[in-house]
């Protein structure tokens, strides 16, 4: 309520403060890292738009990461290695030099130079923190296998939570400004909030500037609708996370963390359980994020639209993690040529897009295999008319896609190739190492209520929309959801998508 | 638009009605999940027909047994209170069951109930004692040792934390919600999932427990605490006019040469104090001291194999028969 009593401008500062504190709780050093793309892309986008900032403003702003690191060390919040101070100081110098030099260039070249610099900065940060160790380790293994001794010691790099999400969000903004599809934001606090808004910073949805920016600028007054919608979304999100995902996680973990194959029944149980775990986990988080944002009068985009009702893998991606799949479509697949060029080129574009989508999820071989698997499915569905025609078969097509999706999740969940082979080996073992009928009933108990909820919302765009129901039915649904949440006793699990 | 919608008000009304109903009709019938055994009725379900069922208490369970609340006439009723040692590897393989069998074979109308719960230390054993003393026992057998105090303390802390008004406890202050959670836990979670799956929820603080058990000061505190509680238990038993028998547990140790021997960790001095309070005493060390085949009797350092339980039952029968009044003979 304090938020709604504040003047509009103060609300933005309050939300920035809350967002940075929230992000800093994970690691006090993370806010310094978040400030880098914020500042680079804010001034970069303005430069692309032909707006030259006052040098003192830029220098002062670019010194914020350094200032934050000094505060962290001074207050004992975190240990900061001297290399971090050097990098932060270098950042001030680099940004000043880049802007001084780029402004000497002709307009079109300058625009290109700034967009390349912005993209390069974001991808360098993402690449270093997320992929450096993976590629260095892979290279070392490769060299060792070839008979060379690669004796380098890899640094311990902490993966900042949510880095993939806010990096993609800032990339989308800069590219949109460069394409002249979006005006550059002229207010640094508004842009800082666009990147750091706490409900979405950890696991999305990956927002788009045209949708979010106007909402920050609009002077809203409190409406009970914000409260009702916010609480409804949070309640449904908690239900998906606590009741569905965490309960399914018990079975999925038992299956995929086992030291040896548990048998055919558990291979099936594990796959089904993880399929619903990851859906409940991620869509639950998204609902909670949307609900939290709604309490502040902000609409975040819908990220899931009944994904397991898809009739083809392509449709699945139009329903699953929509903010990411649409990002890859708009900023990678279409710029690569999409389906406008030859069929072979389209297949290549699909494969590149899905491989990178897999890699986005994490620095691991299985994520790349998972991306390749989807690349292959999308190609096969385009190349083979029989598969493409399946989408007219209704329930059958849905079942086929569900099984294919489930197999994809098995690849995604398997810790490595050996883990996947172990899961496969379970199908060769009729007898079960662990009793399975009880767990199967457990799975049904925790998945059927989700199915019933989705049956009620089946005709709506938003799968968490219940307002079309008569109020007594709605009340009963809320009551049941609430009781199911509080009565569940599954172990609390961290959100899967926080690691990306 | 109104701040409170009709559907919200309906939810609140139904929750309030549910809460009132639970408080009126089911208030006593709680297995104490959130009290971690720190409640007199934890694990005891009293039915209207006068029977008492032993059920789960705070995530742990008594072995399923039941008895009549008013003791049948002429029956010699024994409750065995302790941890996993008297609980044994199975209901019929543990010594309380075998003791009952021996006593009955000797013509004594005895009923012996096994109230061993794994991990129960001095605190929770005293709570069990306070509850069963109401069920007209003739004899209480109380196991004592110094190995469960870490877990007892941890669970005590959790029980105390739960009593606080920290926001994380707010929902479970509602008897309706707590009861629902218990029903789900007892009837769905425990019944449907195998132990390997359930174990993911377990608390793994083995490192902290090992560190605490290697701390001399901590061990000294635990010993003093166990002594104090055992003497309090003796007083409770005495004041109730019941006979008490305290069993000092023993552990297998190895000499430098690798030979096994039994160690009661100095508990004999506690037995002397308890004997002065009018309690009967028995040391497991004395029961097994002449056995050279300890490995066949003990499953690990302190738990017994079925033959070990049989031997305990035989030894206890010898101790108890002189104590049993003639009216309990068939």
Residues of A in contact with B188 (CB under 8 A): 442, 445
Q: How many helices (H) does chain A have, and how many strands (E)?
A: 24, 0
Residue range B247-272: mean pLDDT, rounded: 86
Interface test with chain B among A269, A270, A472, A486, by most B beta carbons within 10 Å: A486
Of the partner residues A251, A471, A475, the one whose CB lies closest to the CB of residue B197: A251
Chain A nearest C-alpha distance from B32 (Å): 15
In Å, how far is A465's CA from the nearest CA of chain B?
Answer: 14
Chain A residues touching B194 at Cβ < 8 A: 434-435, 438-439
Inter-chain CB proximity B177 and A487 less than 8 Å? yes
Give the pLDDT score at B291.
81
Q: Which residues of A touch B5 (CB under 8 A)?
A: 228, 471
For B193, the closest of A442, A472, A476 (CB atoms) is A442
Contact state of A472 with B10 under an 8 Å Cβ cutoff: yes
Do residue A478 and residue B2 have CB atoms under 8 angstroms apart?
no
Q: How far apart, in whole angstroms, are the C-alpha atoms of residue B119 and residue B258?
A: 29
Report how far residue A244's alpha carbon sits from residue A252's, in angstroms, rounded to the nearest whole number.
12
For chain A, list residues with pLDDT below 50: 490
State the nearest Cα–Cα gap between B53 and chain A, in angstroms. 24
d(CA A283, CA A304): 6
**Which residues 6+ apart lie within 8 Å of A474 measured at CB?**
A466, A467, B7
Identify the band that residue B326 occupies on the pLDDT scale cut at 50, 70 and 90: confident
Are A188 and A161 contacting, i.e. CB atoms less than 8 angstroms apart? no
Which residues, including other chains, have CB under 8 Å from residue A423's CB and lie 6 or more apart? Answer: A255, A256, A261, A267, A270, A271, A410, A414
Residue of B nearest to A248 (CA): B197
Could you tell me which residues come within 8 angstroms of residue A49 by beta carbon, excluding any fewer than 6 positions away? A177, A183, A184
Q: Are the C-beta atoms of B43 and B116 separated by less than 8 Å?
A: no
- State whether A472 and B5 contact (CB < 8 Å): no
Q: From the list B5, B6, B185, which residue is nearest A489 (CB)?
A: B185
Distance from CA of A68 to the nearest CA of B (A): 32
Task: Yes or no: say if B133 and B236 are a contact pair by the CB < 8 Å rule.
Answer: yes
Residues of A in contact with B204 (CB under 8 A): none
Return the residue matching tokens 């309050």: A14
CA distance B45 to B55: 7
**Are B1 and A224 within 8 A, CB to CB?**
yes
List residues bridging with B112 in a β-sheet: B78
Q: Using CA atoms, how far apart are residues B53 and A293, in angstroms rounded to an integer?
A: 50
Give the span between the Cα atoms of A193 and A12, in whole angstroms.
7
CA distances from B210 to A61, A260, B150, B222 (A): 51, 30, 9, 14
CA-closest candidate to residue A283, choices A302, A260, A264 = A302
Name chain B contacts of A478, Cβ cutoff 8 Å.
7-8, 11
Percentage of the residues of chain B whose pLDDT score is greater than 70: 93
Query: How confident is the model at residue A376, as a pLDDT?
Result: 95
State how far residue B275 is from chain A, nearest Cα, in angstroms. Answer: 46
Q: B-chain residues within 8 Å CB-CB of A471?
A: 5-7, 10
Contact in structure between A211 and A196 (CB atoms under 8 Å) = no
Which CATH number do you get for residue B131? 3.40.50.1110
Which residues does chain A have within 8 Å of residue B175's beta carbon, measured at their own beta carbons?
none
CA distance, residue B300 to nearest chain A CA (Å): 26
* Residue ranges of chain A whose CB lies within 8 Å of a chain B CB: 223-225, 227-228, 250-251, 253-254, 434-435, 438-439, 441-442, 445, 471-472, 474-476, 478-479, 482-483, 486-491
Model confidence at B126: pLDDT above 60: yes
Range of the domain at B233: 74-148+214-324
The residues, ordered by sequence, that sit 6+ positions from A62 with a Cβ below 8 Å of its Cβ are A39, A91, A92, A95, A96
The percent of chain B in helix, strand and coil, each rounded to the nearest 5, is 50, 20, 30
The pLDDT assigned to A440 comes to 95
Nearest-angstrom CA–CA distance, B150 and B212: 7
Cross-strand pairs, A159: none
Residue from A242, A434, A439, A475 to probe the interface with B (highest B Cβ count within 10 Å): A475
Tokens of B296: 């066949």
Residue B203, pLDDT above cutoff 60 = no
Output the pLDDT for position B316: 93
Are A487 and B180 an interchain contact pair (Cβ–Cβ within 8 Å)? yes
B254 DSSP β-pair partners = B260
C-alpha distance from B150 to closest chain A C-alpha (Å): 23
The answer to the question of residue B192 being in a domain is no
CA A481 – CA A181 distance, rounded (Å)? 42
Counting every residue written for chain A, the total comes to 500
Sign (positive or negative) of CA dihedral A468, A474, A477, A481? positive
Half-sphere exposure at residue A261, Cβ-oriented, CA atoms within 13 angstroms? 18
DSSP state of B292: S
pLDDT of residue A145: 78
Q: For residue B12, list chain A residues with Cβ-Cβ distance below 8 A.
A: none
Q: Which of B2, B15, B200 sits opposite A491 (nearest CB)?
A: B200
CB atoms within 10 A of CB A120: 12
Residues of A in contact with B2 (CB under 8 A): 224
Q: Across the interface, which of B11, B172, B193 has its CB nearest the CB of A439?
A: B193
Contact B194 A483 (CB under 8 A): no
Structure-token pair, residue A220: 């809203």
Strand order in the sheet with B243-248: B110-116, B76-82, B139-144, B243-248, B280-283
Contact B201 A224 (CB under 8 A): no
Across the interface, of B3, B6, B177, the residue whose CB is closest to A224 is: B3
User: Buried b / exposed e across A159-184, counting CB within 10 Å, b at 16+?
Assistant: bbbbbbbbbbbbbbbbbbbbeeebeb
Query: Which pLDDT value is given to residue A204?
Result: 76
Who's near B121: CB < 8 A, 6+ residues apart? B83, B147, B148, B149, B151, B152, B153, B226
CA dihedral of residues A219, A224, A225, A230 (deg, nearest 10):
90
Number of Cβ atoms within 10 Å of the Cβ of A397: 18
State the pLDDT at residue B26.
Answer: 75
Q: What is the C-alpha to C-alpha distance for residues A358 and A355, in angstroms, rounded to an integer?
A: 5
Which secondary structure element, helix H or strand E, spans residue B65, and what is its range? strand B60-68
**Which neighbouring-strand residues pair with B47?**
none
Our CA-based measurement puts residue B71 at a distance from the nearest CA of chain A, in whole angstroms, of 37
β-pair partners for B113? B79
In the block, tokens 């949510």 appear at A162
pLDDT confidence of residue B265:
81
Q: How far apart are CA B233 and CA A394, in angstroms?
A: 71
Q: Are A475 and B6 an interchain contact pair (Cβ–Cβ within 8 Å)?
A: yes
B9 → chain A, closest CA residue: A475
- H or E segment to which residue B67 belongs: strand B60-68
Beta-sheet pairing, B76-82 with B110-116: parallel
Contact A482 B200 (CB under 8 A): no
B7–A478 CB contact, under 8 Å: yes
- Give the per-residue pLDDT at B208: 73
**Any catalytic annotation for residue A361?**
yes
pTM of the shown model: 0.81
CB A180 within 8 A of CB A473: no
B67 in a structural domain: no
Per the CB < 8 Å rule, is A253 touching B200?
yes
Number of domains in chain B: 1
Between residues 176 and 195 of chain B, which touch chain A (CB distance below 8 Å)? 177, 180-181, 183-185, 188-189, 191-194
Best CA proximity match to A195, nearest among A16, A29, A69, A344: A16
CA distance B298 to B251: 9
Nearest C-alpha in A relative to B183: A487
**Tokens found for residue A483:** 């009781």
Cβ <8 Å between B194 and A438: yes
Q: What would the mean pLDDT of B202-231 be, rounded to a whole number?
A: 81
Cβ contact A491–B185 (<8 Å):
no
Contact B192 A476 (CB under 8 A): no
Contacts A252 to B, Cβ<8 Å: none
Token pair belonging to A390:
């399946």
Å between B40 CA and nearest CA of chain A: 24
The answer to whether position B80 is within a domain reads yes
B165 assigned to some structural domain: no
Of residues A8, A149, A156, A361, which has the active-site annotation?
Answer: A361
Query: Minimal Cα distance from A489: which residue of B?
Result: B185
Number of residues assigned to chain B: 330
Nearest-CA residue of chain B relative to A254? B197
Closest CA to A278 of A257, A251, A260, A300: A251
* Cα–Cα distance measured from residue A203 to residue A208, given in angstroms and rounded to the nearest whole number: 14
């Amino acid at each position: 309520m304090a938020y709604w009593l504040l003047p509009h401008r103060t609300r933005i500062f309050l939300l920035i403060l809350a967002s940075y504190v929230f992000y800093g709780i994970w690691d006090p050093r993370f806010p310094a890292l978040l400030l880098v793309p914020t500042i680079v892309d804010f001034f970069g986008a303005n430069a692309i738009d032909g707006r030259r900032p006052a040098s003192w403003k830029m220098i002062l702003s670019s010194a914020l990461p350094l200032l934050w690191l000094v505060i962290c060390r001074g207050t004992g919040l975190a240990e900061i290695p001297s290399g971090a101070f050097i990098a932060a100081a270098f950042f001030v110098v680099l940004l000043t030099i880049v802007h001084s030099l780029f402004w000497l260039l002709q307009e079109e070249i300058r625009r290109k130079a700034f967009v390349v610099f912005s993209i390069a900065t974001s991808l360098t940060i993402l690449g270093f923190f997320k992929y450096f160790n993976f590629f260095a380790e892979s290279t070392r293994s490769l060299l060792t296998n070839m008979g060379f001794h690669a004796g380098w010691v890899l640094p311990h790099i902490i993966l900042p939570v949510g880095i993939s999400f806010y990096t993609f969000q800032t990339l989308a903004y800069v590219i949109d400004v460069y394409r002249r599809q979006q005006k550059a934001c002229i207010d640094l606090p508004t842009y800082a909030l666009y990147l750091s808004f706490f409900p979405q910073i950890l696991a999305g949805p990956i927002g788009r500037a045209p949708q979010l920016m106007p909402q920050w600028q609009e002077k809203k007054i409190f409406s009970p609708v914000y409260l009702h919608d916010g609480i409804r979304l949070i309640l449904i999100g908690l239900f998906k996370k606590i009741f569905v995902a965490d309960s399914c996680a018990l079975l999925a973990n038992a299956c995929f963390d086992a030291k040896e194959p548990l048998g055919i029944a558990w291979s099936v149980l594990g796959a089904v359980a993880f399929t619903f775990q990851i859906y409940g986990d991620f869509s639950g988080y998204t609902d909670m994020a949307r609900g939290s944002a709604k309490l502040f009068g902000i609409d975040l985009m819908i990220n899931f639209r009944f994904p397991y009702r898809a009739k083809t893998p392509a449709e699945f991606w139009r329903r699953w993690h929509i903010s990411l799949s649409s990002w890859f479509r708009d900023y990678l697949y279409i710029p690569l040529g999409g389906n406008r060029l030859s069929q072979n080129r389209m297949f290549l574009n699909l494969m590149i897009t899905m491989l990178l989508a897999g890699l986005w999820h994490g620095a691991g071989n299985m994520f790349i295999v998972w991306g390749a698997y989807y690349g292959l499915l999308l190609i096969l569905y385009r190349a083979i008319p029989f598969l493409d025609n399946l989408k007219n078969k209704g329930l059958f097509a849905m079942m086929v896609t569900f099984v294919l999706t489930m197999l994809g999740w098995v690849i995604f969940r398997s810790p490595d190739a050996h883990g996947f082979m172990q899961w496969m080996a379970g199908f060769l073992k009729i007898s079960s190492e662990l009793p399975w009928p009880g767990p199967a009933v457990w799975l049904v108990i925790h998945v059927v209520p989700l199915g019933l909820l989705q049956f009620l919302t089946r005709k709506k765009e938003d799968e968490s929309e219940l307002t079309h129901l008569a109020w007594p039915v709605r009340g009963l649904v809320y009551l049941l959801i609430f009781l199911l949440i509080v009565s569940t006793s599954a172990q609390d699990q961290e959100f899967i998508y926080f690691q990306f | 638009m109104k701040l409170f919608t009709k559907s919200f008000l309906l939810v609140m009304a139904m929750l309030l009605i549910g809460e009132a109903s639970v408080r009126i009709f089911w208030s006593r019938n709680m297995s104490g999940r959130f009290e971690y055994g720190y409640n007199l009725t934890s694990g005891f379900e009293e039915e209207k027909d006068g029977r008492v069922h032993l059920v789960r208490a705070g995530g742990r369970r008594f072995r399923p047994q039941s008895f009549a609340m008013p003791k049948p006439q002429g029956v010699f009723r024994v409750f065995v209170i302790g941890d996993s040692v008297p609980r044994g590897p199975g209901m019929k393989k543990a010594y309380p069951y075998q003791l009952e069998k021996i006593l009955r074979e000797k013509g004594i109308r005895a009923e012996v109930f096994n109230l061993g719960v794994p991990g129960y230390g001095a605190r929770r054993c005293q709570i069990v004692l306070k509850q069963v003393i109401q069920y007209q026992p003739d004899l209480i057998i109380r196991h004592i040792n110094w190995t469960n105090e870490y877990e007892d303390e941890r669970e005590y802390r959790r029980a105390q934390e739960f009593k606080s008004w920290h926001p994380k406890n707010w929902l479970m202050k509602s008897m309706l919600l707590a009861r629902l959670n218990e029903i789900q836990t007892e009837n769905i979670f425990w019944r449907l999932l195998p132990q390997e799956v359930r174990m993911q929820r377990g608390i793994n603080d083995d490192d902290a427990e090992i560190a605490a058990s290697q701390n001399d000061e901590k061990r000294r505190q635990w010993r003093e605490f166990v002594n104090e509680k055992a003497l309090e238990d003796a007083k409770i038993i005495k004041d109730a006019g019941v006979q008490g028998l305290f069993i000092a547990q023993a552990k297998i140790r190895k000499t430098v040469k690798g030979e096994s021997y039994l160690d009661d960790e100095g508990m004999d001095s506690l037995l002397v104090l308890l004997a002065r309070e009018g309690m009967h005493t028995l040391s497991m060390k004395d029961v097994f001291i002449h056995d050279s085949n300890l490995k066949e009797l003990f499953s690990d350092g302190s738990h017994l194999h079925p033959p070990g339980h049989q031997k305990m039952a035989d030894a206890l029968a010898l101790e108890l028969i002189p104590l049993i009044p003639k009216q309990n003979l068939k």
